[in-house]
Amino acid sequence: MIKVAIFTEGQAELIFVRELLLRLVDASKMWLQCLELLSHRLSDVEFEHRCVDPDLFFLLVDVHGDEGVLSSIKEREINLVEKGGYERIIGLRDMYCEQYLKNSPSNIDNKVSAMIIDNCESVIQSMRYNDRIKILFAIMELEAWFLAMYNLFERTNSLLSVDYIKNRTAVDLKDKDPEKEFYRPSQELNTILNLCGMQYKKKKGEIENIAKNIAVTDLVDARENDRCEHLGKFLEEIRGIASGYSYE
């Protein structure tokens, strides 16, 4: 059995990864466990998917904070590999953080993004099992990936077609690369949902309501014309792990 641990910045990232795995990986071959880390203690998150004799085991851990992703992995890497038998450890976090605000308070700056990525890579290289560890980023927030899935919103609410959103906000989601256009994608997402009387404040129910509607075709939409480079890197990582056990 292949064992993979994925540490996420927050519940939005955990729910996204959970739903992504359920779309991409054969559910009859996968065991999926979700935990959260609070005050250095792990506890169950209410969702779990089990199967008999799984080929893949995914452990998803919400660490409740962007800086906690790498530090939590560093603290646990030896136990995960030597006692747990994990072959791959992945971190997923937003690029938007205090360090980014300090260096670029209002604009996406590729140099700042590269600096943060390089700093994380330096820490990983100092770790014992660095060849099994990878940190991936959503630029600037995970919600950029939702915005790239432009057909997703009409399934969330029938009013929110691409044309309706364009007419009301002057934003053509088909024509934008959200990883390059939006400094705070979560705010753009809230603006769109406000059009039909909904809101997005990163609450669990709001995230679930969007993520449950993700289809594999949305991943294709998000990557068309080479959009969302960092989503592509995350998808490549997951598909590499799940090769031979996927629906695709």
In a domain, 212, yes or no: yes
CATH number (domain holding residue 55): 3.40.50
Residue 121 sits in the same domain as residue 204:
no
The answer to whether residues 150 and 177 touch, using CB atoms and an 8 Å cutoff, is: no
Residue 165 sits in the same domain as residue 212:
yes
Residue 198 sits in the same domain as residue 75:
no
Strand partners, 121: none
For residues 38 and 40, give the distance between their C-alpha atoms in angstroms, rounded to a whole number: 5
Residue 17 sits in the same domain as residue 102:
yes
Residue 216 sits in the same domain as residue 234:
no
Residue 37 sits in the same domain as residue 98:
yes
Count of domains for the chain: 2
Residue 162 sits in the same domain as residue 134:
no
**DSSP H/E element including 36:** strand 30-38
In a domain, 248, yes or no: no
Per-residue exposure over 48-64, b if at least 16 CB sit within 10 Å of its own CB, e if not: ebeeeebbbbbbbbbbe
Residue 114 sits in the same domain as residue 67:
yes
In a domain, 159, yes or no: yes
The answer to whether residues 78 and 63 touch, using CB atoms and an 8 Å cutoff, is: no
For residues 57 and 72, give the distance between their C-alpha atoms in angstroms, rounded to a whole number: 19
Nearest alpha-carbon partner for 169 in 153, 105, 204, 180: 153
Show the tokens assigned to 82.
């030597």
Residue 99 sits in the same domain as residue 198:
no
Residue 25 sits in the same domain as residue 78:
yes
pLDDT number for residue 74: 97
> Within a 10 A sphere around the Cβ of 153, how many other Cβ atoms?
26
In a domain, 247, yes or no: no
In a domain, 73, yes or no: yes
Residue 175 sits in the same domain as residue 236:
no
Q: If you search the block for the tokens 């934008």, which residue do you land on?
A: 176
Residue 174 sits in the same domain as residue 88:
no
In a domain, 116, yes or no: yes
Reported confidence tier of residue 247, pLDDT bands at 50, 70, 90: low
pTM: 0.96
pLDDT for 75-114, tens place per residue?
999 999 999 999 999 999 999 999 999 999 999 999 999 9
pLDDT for 201-228, tens place per residue?
999 999 999 999 999 999 999 999 999 9
Q: Is the pLDDT of residue 20 over 90?
A: yes
Show the tokens assigned to 59.
């452990």
Range of the domain at 156: 143-226
For residues 32 and 175, give the distance between their C-alpha atoms in angstroms, rounded to a whole number: 35
